[in-house]
A and B are shown apart, each in its own frame.
Chain A
Amino acid sequence: MLEKKEFDKSDFIWRLSTTVTIVSGFFALLVFTLLLVNYLQIQRLDPVNHELLTQMRQDYANLPEKDMALAQRIRDLDLITRKAFFTSQTFLRIGAWTLLVCVSIFLIAFKNMIRWRPQLPDILDEPTANKEFLAYAQSRNLITWAGVGLLAGGMMTAELLEAKNAAAGESDAEEAVPEVVVVPPTWEEVQMEWPSFRGPGSNAIAHYTTAPATWDVEAGTNVLWKVESPMPGNNSPVVWGDRLYMAGADAEKREVYCYDVNSGELLWTTTLAPLPNTPAGDLDVMEDTGFAACTMVAHGSQVFATFANGDLVALDQDGKQMWGFNLGLPENHYGHSSSLIAYDNLLFVQYDQSEDGKLLGLDIATGKEVWSTPREKISWASPILAHTTLGPQLILSSEENADAYAPTTGALLWSEQCLGGEVAPSPAYANGMVFVANEYAVASGITLGGTAEAVETEVTWQFDELLPEVSSPVGDGTHFYFGTAIGDFVCLDAATGEERWVEEMDEGFYSSPILVGDRIYLGDMAGIMHIVKAGESFERLGAIDMGEPVYATPAFMDGRIYIRTESQLYCIEAS
């Protein structure tokens, strides 16, 4: 067998190594302490913003004329301060290298200290091999658990990060300071436009009463212009100033279009880039609903659009995206169809879903959530903004209730359990009474009373013979009018709920009736635009064939009607 030098002992080398270890260790500690003090001093030094120097600079700046002597003193002091700083820094650098050398000597000496007083290997009674072999089973278990841990850890991390990102988005939003200044339009300005689904406040009452009552799309009579819709969409056109906006989408693409109202020229198209938090995956929607059923809002210098996948964007008048995010993939078996509405500096989103539904009040400038109120039941209806004698109220329908909220806070003002089934028609408001209805439920007239702080409601009457399925009602103060999916055009007395007249049309209605002065316009699914006189008895004023189905609700401006049919957009104007 070999004589192994590695197991030699040497008292002299061991003693020498021990001494060097102690000395170098002590010296390293000393250098380290000095360096630490120097480092802390440098940390406190701020040569550029030295107090005296700053004062002298200020004095120099305030002098009416240049004082070269003072400038020289500033330069001298600046140089001294910098020299002091760099001297300390040089000391730090040299010291650090010295320390590194000391530590190296210390480690080498320490290694030799161990080397020259070695321990011979212990040989245990039980061979290590036995333990190793037994460790196989332990290894298998540990590796299996490590694999499970990796899998579970990975999945949990993914979920946690997703939740964290969502939470961070909300909490960050609370701290956000809007840099973009957006001046919201006044309610008076809003009323002069056609800013949302069924006009100002979604009340289905046109401000202008000058809409034409005769036209012929085939002959082109009273048709100012006509353009083809680039992409499918059941949303209705909205108008602000000389611009008309509408949206189109399919499963892959979402677009917003802006037209010149005078020429029908397509001014711009904005194709939405996928938003950062848009969920991946296919989205199923009912064909009748489509991917762009929600009507946009035009609100002063901004337009807002939302789509079936929950994408919500704000665009400026040039189509540039100001902000956008995804509301979360809708849990909605027919497809998300609730239209947007805006008031003052808030955009309202009725996001009624089968789970985690909510009504949102978002800052129009930033998209920041100002308030969020949970909603328990699903719906496909859109909110209306009723200017009641008790103040503005945001009124919503859902699978079970008619609810009203304060627009500024989202606080629930009142709720009536008077609906049922899958609600798509939106509420109507006129003369202190709210009207809600849905097929397979009942129509209810709800009278508002009490005070703004404590609103009292009463279901004054109910009617259950003919009911709307999709089309929303309209009220003129004395009557409520609505169209059903099987083609009945119905008028009820607003005070009693008694049926005043019913006219059976050939086709049903998805589009909603609009009150224009004393006329009501309502397009059916065959493409006939019915014009009837509002009042106690039915009087037909016109029935104009648009050539193809009308699902969207027209927009009424001064002397013009903008009608979106299945594939075309028309501007009707009396010549």
Chain B
Amino acid sequence: MKYLSLAIATLSTLLLQSAVAIELKFAPPDFETDYGMPYLFTPQPDGRNTPWEALILFGALSATTWMVFKARSRRGLFAISVFSLLFFGFYRQGCICPVGSTQNVMAAVFLPNVGISWIIVAFFVLPLLFSLFFGRVFCASVCPLGAMQELVAIAPIRISPALERVLGLGKYLYLGLATLGVATGSGFFICRYDPFVRIYRMADNYSMLIAAALILLIGVFIARPYCRFLCPYGVLLGWMSRFSKHHLEIPPSPCVECRLCEDSCPYNAIDMPTPQHLVGDPAEGKRRVRKLLFLSPLFILLGALGGYMMYEPLSHMNPTVSLSERIAKEDRKLVQESILESETFRVEGKTAAELHTESLAIKEQFKIGSALLGAFMALIISIKLVELSVVKKRTIYEPHKETCFSCGRCYPYCPVEEGA
């Protein structure tokens, strides 16, 4: 039954898209009339970001915080999720969202002559500030991307914590690639490859729509796969949340260690009490940490080297680089047909040599950027290894501040009353 429902959901989304595809295929009338052809390509978002939206975001974050800390209501969070999905998702068509605003901020930092409005800054900063004080309440129910995944997570299962940690490296890689993309002027990859915005706008190419359908399909069983393994903004939220002053607590009063919540979190975000009989020799852990700290610079150097070697394929993400190579192929008659981009280039009046010089300058940027990306990934892996070598003593069940989405799934499982 589960599989049937998912298949129907996926195919219906694809069929919605088919209508648009057919419309695109249909040629305009071959005689002149007053009929104006409709705009058939990806609908553009409403670019008017108003202060009201920032206020609504603030309100939603505040309401979520209240639901998480005071009401401890999963239903309340569910209701806010639905609101976020409808308002930030379908009504605002997913733009601007704090996840994408990361790139606007990066662009303002890295690129000359790129400004940023204070509303975008507010969208970027507000969830981070709330995370710093209250944990990832933005992820709980305000993020339209997370809301959609939360709603389809009907039968979530827990995956192995080790696998969770490895797959979790994906979001750091995505963040690094997105930064590289913005810093080299290659584009806003987070938005370009945002699978959910296609659903909010009911349009775009099939491949992205299929990706969205697949993520939702996976999300029925492995809840919030995008948030856990891909979301680049989640990395920043996690870092803020790690140092949060207040954070969701599973029991509102002292834990009675009933173990009912043990299996309640599908995100592996509950840190269990440390079993004393398994702690082992602390000296061995210290030795391992010392070794890792000593070897970390070497790892980072290796990472930088590996990243540097990848600069050539990575540079193809840049449209100027790929166009330059396309033009060169066309000029050498290695390809028979031109593409829209190359035809446009040829009527612009720029020479292939000028384009290629630009392309080479961009590749130089990619050399540095790719090396930094490699070093960043090596640094993250080193930190993760050190973290996994240190056993923090715990006597109760508590949420892992960095990875907990404050979704409240654990609330119903805890029998402890507030003030008990």
Contact = CB atoms under 8 A, between A and B. Distances in A.
Contact of A107 (B9, B332, B384): B9
A144 B18 CA distance: 44
Interface in A33-88: 35-36, 39, 42-43, 47-48, 78, 82, 85
B164 to A, nearest CB: 9
Contact of B5 (A107, A134, A141, A366): A107
Contact of B299 (A7, A147, A367): A147
A353 B309 CA distance: 25
B328 interface: yes
Given A154-B310, A276-B324, A142 B272 contact: no
A38 to B, nearest CB: 9
A327 B19 CA distance: 49
Given A143-B166, A161-B312, A276 B356 contact: yes
A114 B5 CA distance: 14
A132 interface: yes
A293 interface: no
B27 interface: yes
Nearest to B161: A135
Given A128-B263, A151-B303, A93 B19 contact: yes
Nearest to B15: A96
A411 interface: no
Interface string B324-360: 1100110111111000000000000000111011001
Contacts of A99: 8, 12, 15
A539 B378 CA distance: 76
- Main SS of the interface on chain A? helix
B328 to A, nearest CB: 4
Contacts of B310: 154-155, 157-158
A178 B389 CA distance: 63
B388 interface: yes
Nearest to B417: A2
Binding site secondary structure of chain B: helix
Interface in B1-43: 1-2, 4-5, 8-9, 11-13, 15-16, 18-19, 22-23, 26-27, 29-30
A459 B267 CA distance: 82
B244 to A, nearest CB: 22
Contacts of B165: 139, 142-143
Most buried by B among A95, A111, A121, A130: A121
Nearest to B9: A103
A517 B169 CA distance: 78
Contacts of A322: 331
A1 interface: yes
Give the one of A7, A32, A96, A122 with max B CB within 10 A: A96
A454 interface: no
B333 A368 contact: yes
B184 to A, nearest CB: 17
A138 interface: yes
A21 B299 contact: no
Contacts of A123: 259-260, 262
A100 interface: yes
Most buried by A among B18, B30, B385: B18
Contacts of A225: none
A7 B411 CA distance: 12
A457 B275 CA distance: 88
B152 interface: yes
Contact of A143 (B8, B272, B333, B384): B384
Given A135-B160, A139-B388, A172-B329, A28 B334 contact: no
Nearest to B279: A133
Given A89-B23, A133-B272, A136-B388, 11 more contacts: A4-B415, A25-B5, A96-B19, A121-B264, A133-B274, A139-B162, A150-B173, A162-B312, A178-B333, A274-B356, A275-B328
Interface of A: 1-2, 4, 6-7, 21, 25, 28-29, 32, 35-36, 39, 42-43, 47-48, 78, 82, 85, 89, 92-93, 95-97, 99-100, 102-103, 106-107, 110-111, 114, 121-124, 127-130, 132-136, 138-144, 146-147, 150-151, 154-155, 157-158, 161-162, 169, 172-173, 175-180, 273-276, 321-325, 366-368
Closest 9 CB pairs of A and B: A129-B272, A273-B353, A6-B412, A99-B12, A1-B415, A276-B328, A139-B162, A151-B306, A138-B162
8 contacts: A1-B415, A2-B415, A2-B417, A47-B26, A132-B161, A143-B385, A276-B329, A321-B353
